[in-house]
């Protein structure tokens, strides 16, 4: 395969940070960093920091202008008691 590509048919592009899949390049995640992130319109909800907490909203709507295959969603929440 050419540099930066791998797989039995060289069909996968490497999105690993420093060519080591212990960390993905920004905007990529999952096994072998092969899933691209679909960011919404607001950086606050997509900063990739699980410690960030948005406390002043009760609902959120994200609308994309084009269709994407959507297979799963990762959402981190925190419940601080009542």
CA distance 46 to 66: 19
pLDDT band with cut points at 50, 70 and 90 for residue 39: low
CA distance 19 to 23: 9
Q: What is the widest separation between alpha-carbon atoms in the chain?
A: 56
What is the pLDDT, as a whole number, of residue 36? Answer: 83
Helix, strand or coil for residue 29? strand
Write down the pTM of the prediction: 0.55
What is the pLDDT, as a whole number, of residue 40? Answer: 57
Whole-number average pLDDT of the chain: 78
């Amino acid at each position: 395969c050419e540099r930066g590509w791998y797989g039995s048919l060289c069909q996968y592009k490497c999105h690993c940070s420093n060519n080591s899949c212990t960390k993905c390049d920004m905007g990529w995640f999952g096994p072998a960093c092969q899933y691209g992130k679909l960011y919404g319109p607001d950086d606050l909800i997509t900063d990739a920091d699980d410690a960030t907490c948005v406390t002043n909203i009760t609902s959120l709507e994200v609308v994309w202008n084009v269709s994407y295959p959507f297979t799963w969603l990762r959402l981190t929440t925190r419940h601080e008691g009542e």
